[in-house]
């Protein structure tokens, strides 16, 4: 029977292989063709890298082509994983191959051969993909190194000095020729019949675009205000949300008008090559001007509420002018770069043309830095929440001073590239920081409007988290500003997606976010379960409050543990490779955190054994109070002084703890009282018994008792010993009984004595200031003989102790 089953399985696999041979052959042909294309591309890339003569654009194109191959190979590395695992399990189920002279049955041997062939056919593409991926990764790294080396070389390259008068004349000629060429090109196109015919054909569209542009440029701001009045009807007036939206509309509508003008001019066909390149950049330049003007209106409005001394209207106007001029400098810088690309000018001309823009930008940065200084020092009474913002502003002011001085000096010595790479990114960074602050404030205003917190939302944790998230998102933009290539950022992002290895465990953003999401869901469900147990289910049972608290706390610990375990499993973390690391960490925890671990274990014991519970009246280490909360590390006890005492759980487990209300609230009260010698003791016993039995908090069974303790030094000592139905009232009961004892003893004429002492002075003569012959006799001496000091002695604290002896 077993042989027939084996034969059937063998035939089944043979049929499957026969039907799939053609498809596999076609797939192998396509894979082989693709791989041959990759080999040619890789060989060409190696030759280009070795020659190192290709342009930056050519290298970028080659890198993009190799990156496409690398992505395909990366996907192929993880293909057929499940199928390979299945085949390995099948081969393992067949058992190991016989050794020595033992032969394996033919059907099992054939089945093993076919399974191994399939496994190898799947493993080979993965191995080839792994090799190709490594090769592509290495080639991309080499290309990036070449581009970075060229970028570094260009940064530190020294060119002609722009202050050399010999370069001014040729530079002026180059600029004049460029302008003249643009004008001639435009005039020539205007005289062309083709352009005139094109204008007639597109006249209506051009006219409509020009009308739209004029309307938006003239009435855009007014329409923004009208739109704001309509938006305020939706609610949220006074929160600042709609004011922010209106401020954006004030720059968006005019910018759309500029785009309409550019489109209309392009439709005419009048611009030539130079004009077309200029028109392509006009919307971008207009966006810079509008955006910087918007920043100038917004950022220092926020600064006034963040601890700055409020600027005057003149200062605010001056600041807006400076920021608008910085936008103009950026536009001129872009225009100079475009001039170099179109006209192919010399390095000397480029340095002369860029130098005025660099100097003007540096001076504007220095002037922006001085705006706050001229208005006086910062307010020392600013709130604590603005301290971090003020520190950031102070850092920026110092950076602006350094960059404003350094950039013109570098340009003077011929380092034009370095000067441009410093001063203009500084302007963009400054504006980006202002935009982030504005955006954070806007999001906080929306949060305050939705939650009803109002302006208080600006100080909430949500606002801080939003600022942190915006700062993280702005890092790639800052990197591009300061010279990073987009491909560098994409490469860093792709490596981040691949993850990093820690002790054999690969951690990537995908599985990390999966872990966080699953754990968050589990944590939320645990808290909902605890809330349901605490508020709905457990109050309906007969479990005491301490037991309910233990159940709720225990379910929380178990739920969080299970949430973490499920999150680890779903995220795909294999923690088996971390066993050695975990063992080493456990040893370190055992030595370094033994106190915390001890308290943690003690907390678990408290929740399981429940020697004390929430609401118990305990006495530990001389501290008496009610248990308010039992956590993992410590227990909070509220004393009768209404102060919270945090007691480590290990003290409650290993120390001596008195629990007055464990299991029930029944307890004993002892009221001591003394009467004068000569009092009828039976009468006293009767009165005290009546007082004890008449109190409502005293239990009748067991009945209270009155004990004649003995003969004291000053009184006959009695005690009332009674069991109370609620020991929490022990002080009140004791006070009530003392009041009643005083009243009944007064009525019965029973005296409650108090201690009396006779003080004898050994040398009273030292207290007299008169002549010794006039001294009065010393105080009489009792019948009991007493020792007299031979020399005068001073009184000490020991002499005032009533238990020190007969001699005082």
The single residue listed with the structure tokens 């209207």 is 313
8 A C-beta contact, residue 458 and residue 389: no
Of 221-225, 251-255, 321-325, 736-740, which one has max mean pLDDT?
736-740
Burial of 797 by CB count in 10 Å (0-12 exposed, 13-18 middle, 19+ buried)? exposed
State yes or no: pLDDT of 238 exceeds 70. Answer: no
pLDDT of residue 590: 63
> 295, 421, 429, 291: which is closest to 358 by C-alpha?
421
The single residue listed with the structure tokens 């479990």 is 543
Long-range pairs of 27-30 with CB within 8 A, sequence gap ≥ 24? none
pLDDT of residue 241: 73
How does DSSP classify residue 96? P
DSSP-assigned beta bridge partners for residue 196: none
State yes or no: pLDDT of 3 exceeds 50. Answer: no
pLDDT of residue 131: 87
Categorize the per-residue pLDDT at 805 as very low, low, confident or very high, splitting at 50, 70 and 90. Answer: very low
> 720, 749, 747, 755: which is closest to 735 by C-alpha?
720
The helix (run of H) or strand (run of E) holding residue 571 is helix 545-571
The helix (run of H) or strand (run of E) holding residue 668 is strand 667-675
State yes or no: pLDDT of 738 exceeds 90. Answer: yes
State yes or no: pLDDT of 6 exceeds 90. Answer: no
8 A C-beta contact, residue 139 and residue 46: yes
Structural domains of the chain, with CATH: 2-155 (no CATH), 308-494 (no CATH), 500-592 (1.10.287), 601-659 (2.30.30.60), 664-769+781-808 (3.30.70.100)
Q: What's the whole-number mean pLDDT along residues 8-29?
A: 46
8 A C-beta contact, residue 95 and residue 43: no
State yes or no: pLDDT of 25 exceeds 80. Answer: no
DSSP state letters, 60-87: HHHHHHHHHHHHHHHHHHTTTHHHHHHH
How does DSSP classify residue 698? B
pLDDT of residue 127: 84
State yes or no: pLDDT of 800 exceeds 60. Answer: no
More confident residue, 23 or 526: 526
How does DSSP classify residue 536? I
8 A C-beta contact, residue 481 and residue 266: no
Say which residues have a Cβ less than 8 Å from residue 161's Cβ, sequence separation at least 6: 351, 412, 413, 414
Q: What is the dihedral of CA 141, 146, 151, 156, to 10 degrees?
A: 130
CA atoms in the 13 A half-sphere facing the CB of 164: 16
- Write out pLDDT tens, residues 166-195: 988 888 988 888 888 888 888 888 888 888
Helices marked H in 269-312 — which ranges? 273-305
8 A C-beta contact, residue 252 and residue 227: no
pLDDT of residue 718: 94
Of 118-127, 427-436, 671-680, which one has max mean pLDDT?
671-680
State yes or no: pLDDT of 557 exceeds 70. Answer: yes
What average pLDDT is seen over the chain? 79
pLDDT of residue 641: 84
Sheet of strand 623-630, all strands in order from the earlier edge strand to the far edge: 644-648, 634-639, 623-630, 617-620, 657-659
> 173, 215, 434: which is closest to 303 by C-alpha?
434
Of 39-43, 448-452, 793-797, which one has max mean pLDDT?
39-43
State yes or no: pLDDT of 525 exceeds 50. Answer: yes
Q: What's the whole-number mean pLDDT along residues 296-301?
A: 69
Return d(Cα 608, Cα 125) in angstroms, integer.
57
pLDDT of residue 224: 76
Q: Which of 275-289, 349-363, 552-566, 752-766 has the lowest mean pLDDT?
A: 752-766
pLDDT of residue 779: 46
Q: Which tokens hold the place of 244?
A: 């922010």
> 463, 426, 421: which is closest to 441 by C-alpha?
463
Q: What's the whole-number mean pLDDT along residues 604-625?
A: 82
Q: Which of 21-35, 61-75, 541-555 has the lowest mean pLDDT?
A: 21-35
Number of H helices, E strands in the chain: 22, 10
pLDDT of residue 506: 67
Categorize the per-residue pLDDT at 112 as very low, low, confident or very high, splitting at 50, 70 and 90. Answer: confident
State yes or no: pLDDT of 636 exceeds 60. Answer: yes
Return d(Cα 457, Cα 451) in angstroms, integer.
9
State yes or no: pLDDT of 741 exceeds 80. Answer: yes
Of 11-25, 238-252, 350-364, 782-796, which one has max mean pLDDT?
350-364
More confident residue, 660 or 238: 660
pLDDT of residue 586: 66
Q: What's the whole-number mean pLDDT along residues 607-619?
A: 81
pLDDT of residue 329: 92
More confident residue, 235 or 317: 317
> How many other C-beta atoms can be found within 10 angstroms of the C-beta atom of residue 60?
16
Distances (CA, A) of 207 to 116, 184, 202, 282, 283: 75, 25, 9, 20, 19
Q: What's the whole-number mean pLDDT along residues 679-691?
A: 92
Q: What's the whole-number mean pLDDT along residues 108-126?
A: 81
pLDDT of residue 330: 92
State yes or no: pLDDT of 230 exceeds 70. Answer: no
DSSP state letters, 598-644: HHHHHHHHHHHH-SS-TT-EEEETTEEEEEEEE-SSEEEEEETTS-E
- Write out pLDDT tens, residues 429-442: 888 888 888 888 88
More confident residue, 607 or 60: 60
Q: Which tokens hold the place of 32?
A: 């082989």
State yes or no: pLDDT of 231 exceeds 70. Answer: no
């Amino acid at each position: 029977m077993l042989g027939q089953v084996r034969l059937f399985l063998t035939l089944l696999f043979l049929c499957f292989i026969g039907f799939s041979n053609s498809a596999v052959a076609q797939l192998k042909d396509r894979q082989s063709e693709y791989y041959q294309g990759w080999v040619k591309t890789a060989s060409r890339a190696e030759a280009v890298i070795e020659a190192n003569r290709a342009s930056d654009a050519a290298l970028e194109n080659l890198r993009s082509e190799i990156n496409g191959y690398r992505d395909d190979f990366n996907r192929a590395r993880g293909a057929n994983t499940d199928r390979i695992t299945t085949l390995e399990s099948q081969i393992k189920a067949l058992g190991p191959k016989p050794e020595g002279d033992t032969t394996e049955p033919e059907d099992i041997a054939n089945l093993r051969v076919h399974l191994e062939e399939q496994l190898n056919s799947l493993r080979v593409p993965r191995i080839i993909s792994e090799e190709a991926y490594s090769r592509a990764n290495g080639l991309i790294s080499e290309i990036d190194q070449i581009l970075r080396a060229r970028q570094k070389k260009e940064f530190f390259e020294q060119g002609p000095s722009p202050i050399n008068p010999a370069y001014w004349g040729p530079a002026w000629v180059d600029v004049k020729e460029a302008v003249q060429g643009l004008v001639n090109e435009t005039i020539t196109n205007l005289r062309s019949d083709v352009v005139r015919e094109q204008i007639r054909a597109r006249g209506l569209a051009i006219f409509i675009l020009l009308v739209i542009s004029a309307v938006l440029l003239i009435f855009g701001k007014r329409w923004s205000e009208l739109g704001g009045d309509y938006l305020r009807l939706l609610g949220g007036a006074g929160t600042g949300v709609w004011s922010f939206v209106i401020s954006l509309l004030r720059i968006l509508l005019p910018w759309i008008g500029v785009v309409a003008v550019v489109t209309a001019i392009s439709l005419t066909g009048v611009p030539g090559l130079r004009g077309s390149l200029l028109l392509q950049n006009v919307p971008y330049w207009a966006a810079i001007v509008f955006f910087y003007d918007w920043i100038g209106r917004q950022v220092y409005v926020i600064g006034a509420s963040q601890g700055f001394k409020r600027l005057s209207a003149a200062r605010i106007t001056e600041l807006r002018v400076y920021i608008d001029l910085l936008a103009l400098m950026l536009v001129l810088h872009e225009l100079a770069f475009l001039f170099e690309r179109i006209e192919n000018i010399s390095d000397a001309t480029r340095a002369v043309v860029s130098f005025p823009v660099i100097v003007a930008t540096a001076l504007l940065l220095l002037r922006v830095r001085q705006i706050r200084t001229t208005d006086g020092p910062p307010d020392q009474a600013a709130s604590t929440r603005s301290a971090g913002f003020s520190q950031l502003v102070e850092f920026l002011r110092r950076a602006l001073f350094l960059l404003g001085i350094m950039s013109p000096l570098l340009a003077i010595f011929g380092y034009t590239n370095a000067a441009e790479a410093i001063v203009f990114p500084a302007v963009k960074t400054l504006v980006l920081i202002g935009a982030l602050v504005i955006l954070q404030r806007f999001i906080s205003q929306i949060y305050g409007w939705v939650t009803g917190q109002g302006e208080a939302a600006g100080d909430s944790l949500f606002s801080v988290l939003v600022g942190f998230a915006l700062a993280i998102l702005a890092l790639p933009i800052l990197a591009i500003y300061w010279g990073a290539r987009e491909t560098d950022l994409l490469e860093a992002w792709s490596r981040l997606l691949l993850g990093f290895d820690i002790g054999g465990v690969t951690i990537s953003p995908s599985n990390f976010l999966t872990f966080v999401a699953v754990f968050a869901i589990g944590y939320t469900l645990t808290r909902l379960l605890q809330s349901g147990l605490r508020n709905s289910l457990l109050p309906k049972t007969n479990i005491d409050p301490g037991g309910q608290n233990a159940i709720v706390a225990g379910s929380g610990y178990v739920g969080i543990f299970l949430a973490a375990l499920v999150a680890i499993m779903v995220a795909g973390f294999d923690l088996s490779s971390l066993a050695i690391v975990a063992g080493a960490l456990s040893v370190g925890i055992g030595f370094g955190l033994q106190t915390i671990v001890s308290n943690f274990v003690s907390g678990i014991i408290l929740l399981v054994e429940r020697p004390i519970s929430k609401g118990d009246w305990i006495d530990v280490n001389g501290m008496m109070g009610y248990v308010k909360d039992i956590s993992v590390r410590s227990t909070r006890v509220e004393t009768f002084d209404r102060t919270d005492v945090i007691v480590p759980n290990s003290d409650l487990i290993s120390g001596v703890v008195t629990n007055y209300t464990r299991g029930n609230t029944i307890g004993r009260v002892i009221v001591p009282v003394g009467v004068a010698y000569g009092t009828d003791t039976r009468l006293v016993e009767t009165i005290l018994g009546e007082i004890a039995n008449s109190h409502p908090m005293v239990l009748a069974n067991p009945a209270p008792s009155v004990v004649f303790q003995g003969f004291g030094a000053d009184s006959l000592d009695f005690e009332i010993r009674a069991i109370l139905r609620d020991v929490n009232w022990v002080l009140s009961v004791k006070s009530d009984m003392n009041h009643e004892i005083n009243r009944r003893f007064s009525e019965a004429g029973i005296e409650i004595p108090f201690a009396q002492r006779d003080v004898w002075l050994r040398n009273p003569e030292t207290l007299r200031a008169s002549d010794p012959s006039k001294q009065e006799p010393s105080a009489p001496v009792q019948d009991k003989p007493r020792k007299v000091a031979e020399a005068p002695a001073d009184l000490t604290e020991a002499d005032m102790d009533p238990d020190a002896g007969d001699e005082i």
